[in-house]
């Protein structure tokens, strides 16, 4: 374990690309769109516009499957079925299974049935900084339990009819993985996929060097990087309390909720970044490790081969799970 103390005072929890320019002889093709309420961008080298167009179509298709706010989505159909089984696509069934797996791995710190509680919070336009009603929140928490989700083949049912699924903590990572798989099937060897800060790379940069990814300072409003990662054919995903939040009476209320209370997790962490081969794994693990806290989060990552983590504490200390991480400050 490596410890660093950053002499910094504020930060934004996200990942951004730094110094990603390519040699003049090979400029990337790029697409940008808005899906899953976030900005999606993809850069590819030695590809075609048709490939990027298909990537955009894939994003739209997956949004229609996985969104909990689109009434016709497969997730909404499950949530509105009153406990009856719903037939879904293989992709939705696989993603739900993966969410259940991470519920088990994290001992419930990551829970895809968090929706009854998360729906009571407003972290986007809550100018009056209103907290949820305590009784309503307690009732919502009683319906949070990933173990009430049954998946048989492509049939999904909630054994608690009042439970609801929200795949927001894992869907972007899963979609990034699917985009990477498609790009590689089309012969793309160099690409950068960014789903709202979920970064996934195909190979390295066109000149043979790694992509350089800036890890932004939590709560900074100017995009300042607290550290820089080098990534080749890997994913980096961050979760923290400065992504969606409001402050009231000196307390930060943010979108990572404790499934046991429905309240934002309160610990000594600002942010967790996971480096892994799979972006879906990184997505779920970043939330899990933030919710578990530093000690238990470190234990979890060290038990998973090929996965590393960067923890930023509330005094801006940077703690990594390995001395060999390609990170600079």
pLDDT digits over 116-168, tens only?
999 999 998 878 899 999 999 999 999 999 999 999 999 999 999 999 999 99
HEC assignment per residue over 247-300: EECCEEEECCECCCCCCECCCCEEEEEEEECCHHHHHHHHHHHHHHCHHHHHHH
Task: Tell me how crowded residue 318 is: count the other CB atoms within 10 A of its CB.
Answer: 21
| pTM exceeds 0.95 | no
Query: Each residue of 8-31: pLDDT tens digit?
Result: 222 233 455 443 433 344 799 999
pLDDT score, position 313:
97
Q: What is the pLDDT of residues 269-319, one digit of tens each?
A: 999 999 999 999 999 999 999 999 999 999 999 999 999 999 999 999 999
Record: fold of 2-328: T-fold (3.10.520)
User: What confidence score (pLDDT) does residue 5 get?
Assistant: 31
Do the Cβ atoms of 82 and 221 come closer than 8 Å? no
In the chain, the percentage of residues whose pLDDT exceeds 70 is 92
Q: Of 158, 84, 156, 173, which Cα lies nearest the Cα of 116? A: 158
């Amino acid at each position: 374990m490596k410890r660093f103390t950053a002499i910094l005072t504020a930060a934004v929890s996200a990942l951004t690309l730094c110094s990603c320019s390519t040699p003049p002889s090979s400029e990337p093709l790029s697409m940008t769109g808005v899906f899953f309420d976030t900005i999606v961008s993809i850069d590819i080298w030695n590809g075609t516009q048709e490939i990027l167009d298909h990537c955009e179509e894939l994003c739209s298709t997956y949004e229609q499957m996985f969104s909990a706010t689109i009434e016709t989505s497969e997730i909404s159909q499950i949530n509105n079925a009153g406990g009856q089984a719903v037939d879904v696509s293989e992709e939705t069934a696989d993603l739900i299974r993966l969410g259940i797996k991470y519920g088990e791995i994290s001992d419930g710190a990551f829970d895809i049935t968090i929706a009854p509680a998360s729906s009571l919070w407003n972290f986007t336009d809550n100018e009056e900084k209103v907290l949820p009603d305590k009784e309503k929140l307690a009732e919502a928490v009683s319906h949070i339990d990933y173990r009430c989700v049954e998946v048989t083949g492509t049939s999904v049912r909630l054994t608690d009819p009042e439970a609801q699924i929200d795949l927001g903590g894992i869907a972007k990572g899963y979609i990034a993985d699917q985009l990477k798989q498609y790009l590689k099937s089309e012969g793309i060897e160099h690409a950068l996929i960014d789903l709202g800060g979920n970064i996934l790379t195909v190979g390295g940069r066109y000149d043979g060097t790694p992509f350089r990814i800036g890890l932004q300072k939590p709560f900074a409003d100017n995009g300042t990087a607290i550290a820089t990662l080098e990534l080749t054919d890997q994913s980096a995903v961050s979760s923290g309390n400065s992504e969606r939040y409001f402050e009231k009476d000196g307390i930060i209320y943010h979108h990572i909720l404790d499934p046991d209370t429905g309240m934002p997790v309160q610990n000594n962490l600002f942010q967790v970044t996971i480096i892994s081969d799979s972006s879906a794994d990184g997505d779920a693990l970043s939330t899990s490790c933030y919710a578990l806290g530093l000690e238990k989060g470190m234990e979890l990552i060290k038990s998973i081969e090929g996965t590393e983590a960067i923890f930023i504490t509330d005094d801006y200390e940077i703690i990594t799970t390995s001395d060999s991480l390609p990170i600079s400050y």
